[in-house]
Structures are given as structure tokens and as C-alpha cells.
Structure 1
Amino acid sequence: MKKSVVLYPGLGVGHLTPMVALANVFVQHGATVTVALVEPPTTSPEFSAALTRAAASNPSVTFHVLPPPPPPSSPAGSSISDDATSSAQQHPIVLMFERLKSMSPPLRNFLRSRLPAVDALVLDMFCGDALDVAAELNLPVYYFYASGAGDVAVFINLSRSTTTSSVDLDGDTVLSFPGAPPFKASDLPQEISNGSPGAKPILHALSRLPEADGILINTFESLEPRAMRALRDGLCVPDHSTPPVYCIGPLVSGGGEKEHECLRWLDTQPENSVVFLSFGSMGTFPKRQLEEIAIGLERSGQRFLWVVRSPRDPEDMSGKPLPEPDLDALLPEGFLGRTKDMGLVVKSWAPQVDVLRHRATGAFVTHCGWNSTLEGITAGLPLLCWPLYAEQRMNKVFIVEEMKVGVEMSGYDEEVVKAEEVETKVKWVMESEGGQALRKRVEEVKDKASQALKEGGSSHAAFVEFLKDLDNMRSL
């Protein structure tokens, strides 16, 4: 019988993108897939555009935007303006979790309307409240963890072993967890390590991962063997049995762009000659840092393709789209003219997957978001690691020390990465023997990633095993 699953990615384009890639894997295995979406509480052109692209590119997948929750009732004696002021002052992560919790009734109603046709609910890592919805409906529930197995190993252990709302440690304190190399406390997400109001809901959400019937991870076995051994041996969950863990990646979506100006520019460049710099949809820098990057690139003498976004006001938590960058105002005077024969600066966005896979691209300066990390690895490119936020510093640790597919851009945890560092690392990765050895290593990992997804490969076999386990769950 054909399976029917509902995927629930929660909030944010970065969480929707890998979930859509997972939806396609289900479709390839003959399942019917519906993606149940939470609309942002404020109008988001980025969300609307991402949904439109996803629906157009994936006609076999149904996308359903859940209706908004009923407005919260105001406590007696409070005014609407007081409530609005209080809400505006709350931490954005706290607001995100409140929004997801409030979506439980619409999600419950949607699933109930589909039963008994739904065979399983697959959740994003932050959607722990949906576990209770699934339990109420007696529905098998799985997590899809869109980042790596190393992060799962660390964060599950951390969330279930700490009794505080954050990890109050000096940044230089060395931490050790099963499945991970030793790392500094400063490599944890700042939301967890600095006493942020967002730490408590994040840790609580992560602590619920072992309650699911299984965890699907967007990685492949040979990329993270130490973390997978620790998870399967139950070393990461000291007080609970560990559910089955399935490596089903690398799932990389996108590609197929033909007309963007940067691809036409790349067509004119020599093979493996261009350094690509891109820092994700939320990755922005102040003018001073952009100037240092520009100076370093120019001095390096290397060809480059650089995506520049307008600086974001650190006080602005609204998530509003950034204006188009004024490159002449943000970059050093005359930079664009002096480098027009060696580089191209693109405003705001580029078709990243297509750029990374282009024959002319030779290295990737990345913020270490997991989607970007896998895109770089599957393109066979050495990674220059410049983490910015969330779990990206942890990803950097695994990329450099465990996977050995990248090197660190020193100074990212200080006030500014200097032009000298940009120049040195870009030249190293493109010209040195060490850079060539790193490129060879990544090519080998790329081949293993490709093999994992083929029929009979480790990730393909893991997904088949997951489907069999799901059949067993439904027959109980």
C-alpha cells in the first residue's frame, strides 16, 4: 500500500529547504507527501517566494499552509498596546517557539482530517510540541534533523545532561561529548552559551529528540562515523533509550538555473580558478568587514565571485528583507573597477548550487550552515570556514577536525577578520600544496557521498530500512 506522510518543517526558509529535499526522497520511494507549513507571524516576502519556488519545482508534493492560530486572550486589566510592547521586547527565539506551540491545534485539526490515511508525521528539530499532537492521534512520529550527526550527538547529550537554562562556561573551557572531538564552549551556539532567553526553549526542544520513533539525519555514514557510533551505542542519551537513527543524506536541493549573470561570467573563467564567497540568507557583515574582505581578495590575485548583502542593523529583529546593497558605498573606492577582470560581485543572491557545481569554481568561503556545507562537499570543493551564528561554529569543528574537508578562517570570533587573513587563506587554498591536498580529500568525500545515495549505498539502504520500520510501527 502506498504510504502517506506529512512533513512539518516549522518556521524559516532554512528549515523548509532540506525538508523539501526529504519530500522528494519519499516521492522517489512511492510515497504521497504533504508539507504542512507554518506561516510567519508577520508578512514575509522571502517565505512567500520560497514557497512559490518549492511548489513550482516539486509538482508531486502537496504544500498546505496551516491556518493561523486563534489570537491569545489578553490577561484581565492589560491593554492591547501593553501586550504589543511586551511582545516586541521578547527574544525572537522565544517568539518562534511560542508561535510553533500555538500551531498545535491547527496541526491537530489538519492531521485528524486526514486520518487514517496518514502513516507518519515527520518533524523539524524545533517542533517538539507536535510530539504531543502525534501521541494524541496515535500517529508514528519521526524527526528530520537537517544538520549533521555530530550536532545531534552533542546537542542531545547537552540538552539532557544540563539542569540549567544555558551553559554558563568560560569560552575557553574545553568540552568533551561522546561522538565529538574536544571543542571550546565558545563553539556552542551563542543562544545556548551566553545565557540568552532563547536557551531554555532550544534545550527543551532538543531534549525531546529521543522521544520520537526515530531520527532521520541529513548526512551519510562515512562522513561522520564517530558520531554515528556514539548515537547507535546509546552514549549520547544518558537517561533514555536512543531511537533508531538513519543517515539518509546528503540531501541537496536546488540547481538548474541557466540564466543568472554570474553563471555566464563563470563560463568565461578557467577550470577550478574561482573562489566563491557566500554566507547564507541571514549572513551579513558591517561595512568595515566588507572592506577587509575586498582588500584581501584584491591582494590575493585570485579570481572570485562574491555575494554581498546589505549590512543588517543588529538591533533589528523584525526579519524584514534587506534593501539592495549599494556596492559603491559599501566597498573600497575603485575596488569594482580595479577587479573587473578578475572578479564579480553579485548583489544579495546567487544560484549557489549551480555556482558550486560549475567547472570554474575552485573553493568555497562559507558560513558553515549545514545546507551550504553539504552543497560544497557534493560539489567537491574545499571549504574556507567562516561561521556566523546558530550551530555553525560546531559545524566548523566537525568540518575541520573530523571530516577534514575545510580550514578555518581565523579571526571570525574577533571584531573583524583582517584583509591579511583573507588574502593568505584564499591564496593557500588555490595555490599551495596543502590546498591541493585538501581538494583531493574533498573529491574523495564527494565520491563517497555520491555512492551513499545510489541504490545499495548506505543512505539509500538506511531509507529503505526506515520505511520497513515504519511498516512495522503501523502494524502494531
Structure 2
Amino acid sequence: MEDTVVLYPSPGHLSSMLELGKLIVKHHPSVSVTCIMSNPSTEIVSANPSITFIPLPKLSLPTPITSFLDLVASFFEIPNLNNPNLYQTLLNVSKSSNIKALVIDFFCNPAFEFLSSRLDIPIYYFNSSGACGFSIFLYLPTLDKNISKSLKDLDIVVDVPGVPKVPSKDMPPVLCDRSHRVYQYFVDTGKNMFKSAGVIINTFELLEPNAVKALQERNCSLNEPTPPVYFVGPLAITGESKKEHECLTWLDSQPSSSVLYLCFGSMGVFSSIQLKEMAIGLEKSGVRFLWAVRAPKLDGPTQAGKTNTRSTEPCLESIFPEGFLDGTKDRGFIVKSWAPQLAILNHGSVGGFVTHCGWKSILEAVCAGVPMLGWPLYAEQKMNRVFLVEEMKAGLGVRADKDDFVSAGEFEERVVELMNAKKGEAVRERVMALKEAAVVAKSEGGSTFVAMDKLVDSFK
């Protein structure tokens, strides 16, 4: 029977987990990789020929989703419903293969609780974000024990070994309300990680040196030793299947490192008031820009994250202030909705990136050597901005008011600072050094290469 490693991803972290699967096969060709997931698309299957896919039934929850916290809770609850199907699938796989390890996404924590007592298979957690975020995860059970109130009702800083201090208002909303069931799901996941065979993290040592050191020295929890940790990043995606985009032709005609790229992820939706303010700030900055614009929300000036309150295609004339499109046509390019981010970040004309601070986007920018301006919107992104600015030193941050609104003047100032000032130059030098460090980490003898070898050895 052949040896196999089984991956169990959640939909939101699928791409980086598949990159991990490809790395396992590359480092150890005698081990096969099997991915168990709900209805994998034919596109995903054909793009990953070295991985065997086994579908699980697509399930839906009996209760309606009425808030962002409910949505995140469902990421745990669907795997919980699928546990019997997963168990049966693993039994079937074990008839023809020797399962050396099961690697689960942290949203699949219910599988750890269900399978630990039923199957004798080492279970590893996959943490799709970095070492700082994982350290917060490990610290959750301690935080839960030490603080009886919800973080949303406190004005404190969360102090975790090796991690920059995070103001409670910048902690992910899912960790801030003890009364919502999703809070306990995260605390329970933190507890189970200590019992796992190890945790695989999508980062590399020089990107987050203090957090990595604290984890390696196993001092992130006072009560229990940290589980084995493997820093195998950056698991950045290497190719995009989309055809050549017209924005890349425009970039070809721009001076080197002169263009600011603005993109806020698939859920990055702003109010029309905020979009106008951004446009005013951009126009006044005088900076060249490439902006992926989504249609605005229809419900006032609060922060992004709701996807059900907007039309699908943006009407640029109605979004922007009068005269903006004409006034910037010689130095700006607007893309409606989707843009080929990897190709843009790796284009020589791009010299800065305004990002929502999603971990995947941060890694892509680091690998491309592009300094960032962090404008977080939802989920763990405000926390990531703290790490981006304080720990990685690979970006600057925009300052919002108490309603998460950013003024045109503030945006203009930060854009100029990133693109045309000494502060931005220091960040640019740092990010270029990190780009080189990422290449070294992944090459033979580098920290990521060694971590992958140790991980595969631990499967044996």
C-alpha cells in the first residue's frame, strides 16, 4: 500500500493548502497527497494533477445566516455536519493507502474532536495566516481564562509573547463577543491545537522573526508546551489562468515603480461616500494609480464586508466626483471588479499596493517586493495591519476615524508618504530584502525547505 497524506481544507483557505500539497509531493515523491473536500470544481482538479480529490457531499445549515459572526460560525458547523462522511471516506482511503497524516484547516476543528478517539492517525492543523496570528490563536484559551468580559466592551491591549501589542478594537470581531457561539469555536480550536501532532504555518522565519522565535522557544502559553510548528511559507500562488488583461498593457507604458495599485479583495466593498473621498485623495496626491473598483454598498458610510448590499457592476461616472475620470486619465487606470493581482504586483511599473491586509495579499506583495499601505476592512485584517507595520515593517497604515471612515486628506498624505517620501523608501528597502529572503527560504538549505523536510519526516 502506498503512503498518503490527506488534506482537509475549508473553502476560503483552499488555494494555499493545495500549494502545501504540491510542496509535500515535490519534497517526497513517494508520498501521495489526497484532498477531501466538498464538490471540487473540474478547474481545481485539472490545475492540480499531482493531488487526488475525493468529494464530500455539499451540505447546508438548517439555521439562517443573519450576521458576519453567523457566517464565520458556519465555517465550523458545516465540517461538524460532515464528520460522519469524512470518517467513512478516511476508512475507504485506508483500505488502499497507508494514511500517514491528516492535515486539517483550523475551521475543520470539529474533525479533530470527532476523529481523535476513532482513528489512529496523526492530525496536524494548517494555519493559513502567519506566525503572529497563530500566536494569538494559541493564546486564546489563556485570554479566555484571564478576562471575563467581551473584548468589544474593553479598551485594552492584547499582549502575547513575541507579537506586537494589539489594541482590543483591532482584534478580529469573532474573538470580541463572548456571547456569540463563534467565540467558543475559536477558543476550543486553540485548545485542540496543543493536542495536535503539529501546526503548519504559511509564513517564513525572517518575515516574522519575533513571533517565530517565541513559537520555537515554545513560550506562547504558560500552561502547556507549544505543539511542533512548521513554517513552510510563503505558499504564494504561482500562476493565474486568466488571459492577458488590458491593464497590463497600460502598465507597460508607465515608468518603473511609479504606479500605486489599489485592491481590497473579493469582499472589499465601500460606501459611495468613501469611494469619492478615496478618489479626491488620489487625485490630489498626483500619484499614478491602477485601481480595482467594486460597486459601492448601498447602505451608508460604514466599513466594508457586506456583499449583499450592492449592484454587481460599478458605474464609474456615478461613483466618482465630477471631473475625476477626466482629470486623472493620463495617470490612472480603473479596472471594474476583478484584476490579475499576481501579474500586476510583479510588474516593474508597480511601486506600491493599497491592500485590505488579507494574508494571501500580504504574502503576494512581499514575494513581489512591493511595499504596502494597509487599509483593513473586516475579519482579522485590522490585526494583520498591526503585524504588517510593527513586526514585518513591510507597510504603512491608513488612520480611520471611530466609524472606520478615512478622509481624503488622510489618504492623500499616506499615499504620498508611501510613494514619494523617506518613510516609504525605508519600507521599500525592507520589502525588497524580504522578497530575497523568501526566495532563499524556499531554496535548498533555506528555512522553509528545512521545515518541509522536518514536516515530511514527522509523517513517517
Normalising by structure 1, we get a TM-score of 0.87
Q: In the alignment, is the contact (CA less than 8 A) between 2:24 and 2:456 conserved in 1?
A: no
SS of the residue 2:274 aligns to: helix
SS of the residue 1:376 aligns to: helix
SS of the residue 1:22 aligns to: helix
Choose the corresponding residue for 1:421, options 407, 410, 424.
410
Q: CA deviation at 1:105?
A: 1.0
Q: CA deviation at 1:454?
A: 0.3
Bigger Cα displacement from structure 2, 22-31 vs 278-287: 22-31
Which position in structure 2 is the counterpart of 1:219? 203
Going from structure 1 to structure 2, the CA distance change for 1:403 and 1:465 (only over 3 Å counts) comes to same
1:456 aligns with 2:445: yes
Counterpart of 2:250 in structure 1: which amino acid? Answer: W
Normalising by structure 2, we get a TM-score of 0.90
Which position in structure 1 is the counterpart of 2:34? 34
Q: In the alignment, is the contact (CA less than 8 A) between 1:121 and 1:139 conserved in 2?
A: yes
Which position in structure 1 is the counterpart of 2:162? 179
Going from structure 1 to structure 2, the CA distance change for 1:354 and 1:52 (only over 3 Å counts) comes to farther
Choose the corresponding residue for 1:292, options 254, 277, 286.
277
1:330 aligns with 2:300: no
Q: In the alignment, is the contact (CA less than 8 A) between 1:126 and 1:206 conserved in 2?
A: no
Going from structure 1 to structure 2, the CA distance change for 1:202 and 1:311 (only over 3 Å counts) comes to farther
SS of the residue 1:377 aligns to: helix
Q: Aligned ranges for residues 298-317 of structure 1 at < 5 Å? A: 298-312=283-297
Runs of 4+ with deviation above 4 angstroms: 312-322
Q: In the alignment, is the contact (CA less than 8 A) between 2:283 and 2:328 conserved in 1?
A: yes
SS of the residue 1:227 aligns to: helix
What is the CA deviation profile of residues 328-354 of structure 1, one whole-angstrom value per residue up to 9, with x for unaligned ones? 222223322221211111111111111
Q: In the alignment, is the contact (CA less than 8 A) between 2:357 and 2:385 conserved in 1?
A: yes
Counterpart of 1:251 in structure 2: which amino acid? Answer: L
Write the distance in 1 (CA, Å) between the matches of 2:406 and 2:179.
25
Which position in structure 1 is the counterpart of 2:107? 126
Q: In the alignment, is the contact (CA less than 8 A) between 2:297 and 2:309 conserved in 1?
A: no
Going from structure 1 to structure 2, the CA distance change for 1:271 and 1:291 (only over 3 Å counts) comes to same
Which position in structure 1 is the counterpart of 2:134? 152
What is the CA deviation profile of residues 74-108 of structure 1, one whole-angstrom value per residue up to 9, with x for unaligned ones? xxxxxxxxxx6x53557222333221210111111
Going from structure 1 to structure 2, the CA distance change for 1:165 and 1:459 (only over 3 Å counts) comes to farther
Write the distance in 2 (CA, Å) between the matches of 1:298 and 1:452.
40
Going from structure 1 to structure 2, the CA distance change for 1:196 and 1:454 (only over 3 Å counts) comes to farther
Choose the corresponding residue for 1:111, options 87, 90, 99.
90
Write the distance in 1 (CA, Å) between the matches of 2:257 and 2:142.
45
What is the CA deviation profile of residues 13-44 of structure 1, one whole-angstrom value per residue up to 9, with x for unaligned ones? xx1121122122122122322222235xxxxx
Going from structure 1 to structure 2, the CA distance change for 1:237 and 1:2 (only over 3 Å counts) comes to farther
Q: CA deviation at 1:369?
A: 0.7
Write the distance in 1 (CA, Å) between the matches of 2:51 and 2:261.
32
SS of the residue 1:364 aligns to: strand
Q: CA deviation at 1:181?
A: 2.0
Bigger Cα displacement from structure 2, 145-154 vs 183-192: 183-192
- Structure 2: runs of 5+ lacking an equivalent: none
Counterpart of 2:21 in structure 1: which amino acid? Answer: A
Write the distance in 2 (CA, Å) between the matches of 1:254 and 1:412.
37
- Structure 1: runs of 5+ lacking an equivalent: 40-47, 73-83, 472-476
What is the CA deviation profile of residues 386-430 of structure 1, one whole-angstrom value per residue up to 9, with x for unaligned ones? 111111112111111111111111116534111111211111111
Q: In the alignment, is the contact (CA less than 8 A) between 2:199 and 2:229 conserved in 1?
A: yes
Which position in structure 2 is the counterpart of 1:102? 81
Which position in structure 2 is the counterpart of 1:380? 369
Q: In the alignment, is the contact (CA less than 8 A) between 2:269 and 2:307 conserved in 1?
A: no
Q: CA deviation at 1:321?
A: 9.5
Identity over aligned pairs, percent: 42
SS of the residue 1:64 aligns to: strand
Which position in structure 2 is the counterpart of 1:65? 55
Going from structure 1 to structure 2, the CA distance change for 1:326 and 1:297 (only over 3 Å counts) comes to same
Bigger Cα displacement from structure 2, 311-320 vs 30-39: 311-320
Which position in structure 2 is the counterpart of 1:268? 253
Bigger Cα displacement from structure 2, 403-412 vs 449-458: 403-412
SS of the residue 1:285 aligns to: coil
Q: In the alignment, is the contact (CA less than 8 A) between 2:267 and 2:305 conserved in 1?
A: no
Counterpart of 2:112 in structure 1: which amino acid? Answer: L
Bigger Cα displacement from structure 2, 210-219 vs 164-173: 164-173
SS of the residue 2:64 aligns to: helix
Going from structure 1 to structure 2, the CA distance change for 1:160 and 1:131 (only over 3 Å counts) comes to farther
Going from structure 1 to structure 2, the CA distance change for 1:313 and 1:122 (only over 3 Å counts) comes to farther
Write the distance in 2 (CA, Å) between the matches of 1:63 and 1:253.
19
Q: In the alignment, is the contact (CA less than 8 A) between 2:275 and 2:296 conserved in 1?
A: no
SS of the residue 1:223 aligns to: coil
Write the distance in 2 (CA, Å) between the matches of 1:241 and 1:439.
37
Counterpart of 2:252 in structure 1: which amino acid? Answer: D
Q: CA deviation at 1:171?
A: 5.2
